[in-house]
Structure 1
Amino acid sequence: MRVVLLGAGHIGRTIARLLGESGDYQVTLVDKNEAALDGLATDAVSTVVADTEHPSRLGAVMRGHTTVVNALPYHLAIGVATQAREVGCHYFDLTEDVAATQAIKRLADSAPNAFMPQCGLAPGFIGIVAHHLARDFDVLHDVKMRVGALPAFPTNSLKYNLTWSVDGLINEYCHPCEAIHDGERIELLPLEGLEHFSLDGVEYEAFNTSGGLGTLCETLEGRVRSLDYKSVRYPGHGALMKFLLEELQLRSDPGTLKHMLRKSVPATMQDVVLVFVTVSGLRRGHLVQEVFARKIFADRHGETPLSAIQITTAAGICAAVDLFREGKLPTRGFIRQEQIDLPTFLANRFGQAYQQSRQIESIS
């Protein structure tokens, strides 16, 4: 399969390596920065410098490829998807942005090609897990989805290091959060709904953030009593972010906030990804709960060290593309993450990255 991959950041280059080394993909990796592409070309991966900030100029690069994999910032998703429809390429991305996903869904209506956004960790894998657990209940009560991409060794007051896109991080902290409460779809404020829990002997907090539910509100509406998604952080992080965003009013000046974070908060490759899903309801007349809890750690041992967020995000989108290539997903229109069966995902050569993680047995 011929794939054009847009974006050669930490996630994009990992996707390129995974697809290229598989033997089933010929990848054209595109970035606006020539330096970002240095050393990435192989027999299976070619590199192209192009202006990715203006998706309308990418049509020529896309032509001749079967599929577009978009690893660019979320605000470019609609433009790239529009170009993909015009040139007839199937489309996959990592966006967590709710508005972009809805626009892509409209683009997919009556389209001859397939559109599958939100193929990362959250949204993405977390929705596959939640839907898999939920379908085994006769009456569905509560679905709680919790995900954290965290530094393994927090040392600052935020108890946080940059592990992924600052743009995506601020986006999920600033936009309304979809949920279902008492059977009705609602919007919640980001950074609210604070809760604390202990998992595997470590204390965490979690609070509302935008986008992690993917399309599950639509899929489970009318079936579930409550459904929500929260980001997991170490205790105290949420209060400091509320101070920055609300009291210092940086919510209305995200550019300044992003500059501050990039300048003052170190990035790290030593991270851990936490996935924690609980589903409760009635099964054969009995109230029961099912839990999925995993930790995925950075891989520091290979020739190319990978952070946990690189592993999980790249595995999610590569598995989706691979299952599509194998004919296990629809070939046209809008594809939801929850249309992937969890055992099928985990059996996939890329999805096995989650299977090889450490399952957590004790929850408190």
Structure 2
Amino acid sequence: MNMKVALVGAGLIGQSIAHLLRETGDFEVVAFDRDENALALLDAQGIPTRRVDSADTPALRQALAGFDALVNALPYYLAINVASAAKAAGVHYFDLTEDVRATHAIRAIADSSELAFMPQCGLAPGFIGIVAHDLAKRLDDVREVKMRVGALPEFPTNALKYNLTWSIDGLINEYCQPCEAIREGRTQWVQPLEGVEHFSLDGIEYEAFNTSGGLGTLCETLAGKVETLDYKSVRYPGHRELMKFLLDDLRMSTDRDGLKTMLKRAVPSTAQDVVLIFVTVTGMRRGQLVQDVFTRKIFAKDVCGTPMSAIQITTAGAICAELDLFREGVLPQSGFVRQEQVPLEAFLNNRFGKLYEGANTVATARHLAAA
């Protein structure tokens, strides 16, 4: 039987999710948004739409009548409202949020519920946590887990060496919020944009630094089981210094709306991007110190006859794979569901997860050292 899915948010990622789900024939998708232009794009491609203001929780709850699941592709600050509407309407809930506060609130909403609530279903948090947890499980004793992800322009030209490839609200949020990490076996908060590293992959130089939210619930899951655990965003060298100047020296971290306006005006978006995934896990296996590495480079390409950026492919592909695994009964069917409860093998073998498998596996980094 087909699963009836309310897709809330018809932006770039939402449109990709709608295409991927519809293509299978196993999902009936209706897109909700208040933006008529975004809905018109989906209408033109035969995907049913409804004009609903997602900030209006009672209206959203009413619109959800008859659906099995809600997929939330809206900015992080609407997640709690939308999850509350899902619970009131009796539908399962999936989202892409990287916001730590929203995730804690959704966990409280999910408490003792017969519905499933699964936030953080994108790339990071999301797929990156599935990989890290799977690698950690293969060791008898885990010392260090390093998770590095970059969504980058393939052809950087501006001073920031960056183009907008996904939610600008999410980007600013992860640059401004404190970041969870485990150091010397203790969970602690570290500052965003700190902890700079420089490394090189396939002859290209990169930098990585702390950003918020990418670990999902891994700090809690691996507490007491790992000495070091951290997540950093990957950029081209020089990006972090300019962002630190904007956020700290020019105090734009206290004026997020102004920063958003500035970046939208000055930094072009691109569909010619690359997503870099790099996870290393170090520890003991059968008495020997070993390091396991998982790497992928994913490029923009046509999927289902539609051009998609690498960040669209990885983000939409991840949440569709997890919704599909839920539909098949592979994942828990009620309560709060963590990313690390998703088996990596099942994810990569899933029809949507295969979008990750088709990627280039990159060479091991030449060096990965703190600056």
Same fold (TM over 0.5): yes
Counterpart position of 1:305: 307
Cα separation, 2, equivalents of 1:37 and 1:45: 9
* Cα distance, 1:187–1:56 mapped onto 2, change above 3 Å: farther
Aligned to 2:307, what secondary structure does the other structure show? Answer: coil
Aligned to 1:287, what secondary structure does the other structure show? Answer: strand
* Cα distance, 1:6–1:302 mapped onto 2, change above 3 Å: closer
Counterpart position of 1:327: 329
**1:18 corresponds to 2:20:** yes
Aligned to 2:149, what secondary structure does the other structure show? Answer: strand
Q: Which amino acid aligns with 1:356?
A: G
Q: Which amino acid aligns with 2:322?
A: A
* Cα distance, 1:299–1:35 mapped onto 2, change above 3 Å: same
Counterpart position of 2:255: 253
Counterpart position of 1:336: 338
Counterpart position of 1:162: 164
Q: Which amino acid aligns with 1:50?
A: V
Q: Retained in 2: the 8 A contact 1:293–1:359? A: yes
Alignment of 1:212-291 (within 5 A): 212-291=214-293
Aligned to 1:58, what secondary structure does the other structure show? Answer: helix
Cα separation, 2, equivalents of 1:178 and 1:22: 37
Alignment of 1:1-364 (within 5 A): 1-41=3-43, 45-299=47-301, 303-364=305-366
Cα separation, 1, equivalents of 2:34 and 2:52: 5
Out of 116-125 and 53-62, give the one that drifted further.
53-62
Q: Retained in 2: the 8 A contact 1:25–1:44? A: no
Q: Retained in 1: the 8 A contact 2:23–2:304? A: no
Cα separation, 1, equivalents of 2:68 and 2:212: 31
Q: Retained in 1: the 8 A contact 2:20–2:304? A: no
Aligned to 1:359, what secondary structure does the other structure show? Answer: coil
Give percent identity, aligned residues only: 62
Q: Retained in 1: the 8 A contact 2:146–2:279? A: yes
In the TM superposition, residue 87 of structure 1 has moved relative to its aligned partner by 1.1
- Listed one character per residue, the Cα deviations across residues 274-330 of structure 1 (whole Å, up to 9, x for unaligned) are 000000001111111000011000015874211000000000000000000001011
Q: Which amino acid aligns with 1:70?
A: N
Cα separation, 2, equivalents of 1:89 and 1:201: 48
Cα separation, 1, equivalents of 2:241 and 2:351: 40
- Listed one character per residue, the Cα deviations across residues 139-161 of structure 1 (whole Å, up to 9, x for unaligned) are 10000000000000000100000
Q: Alpha carbon RMSD of aligned pairs, Å? A: 1.2
Cα separation, 2, equivalents of 1:126 and 1:233: 17
Q: Which amino acid aligns with 1:310?
A: Q
In the TM superposition, residue 53 of structure 1 has moved relative to its aligned partner by 3.0
Q: Retained in 2: the 8 A contact 1:294–1:358? A: yes
Aligned to 1:105, what secondary structure does the other structure show? Answer: helix
Cα separation, 1, equivalents of 2:133 and 2:303: 34
| TM-score, length basis structure 1 | 0.98
Cα separation, 2, equivalents of 1:59 and 1:287: 53
In the TM superposition, residue 89 of structure 1 has moved relative to its aligned partner by 0.4
Q: Which amino acid aligns with 1:125?
A: F
In the TM superposition, residue 60 of structure 1 has moved relative to its aligned partner by 1.0
Cα separation, 1, equivalents of 2:84 and 2:179: 25
Q: Which amino acid aligns with 2:208?
A: A
Q: Retained in 2: the 8 A contact 1:26–1:44? A: no
In the TM superposition, residue 361 of structure 1 has moved relative to its aligned partner by 2.9
Cα separation, 2, equivalents of 1:225 and 1:327: 34
In the TM superposition, residue 355 of structure 1 has moved relative to its aligned partner by 0.3
Q: Which amino acid aligns with 2:23?
A: E
- Listed one character per residue, the Cα deviations across residues 191-223 of structure 1 (whole Å, up to 9, x for unaligned) are 000000001111000000000000000110010
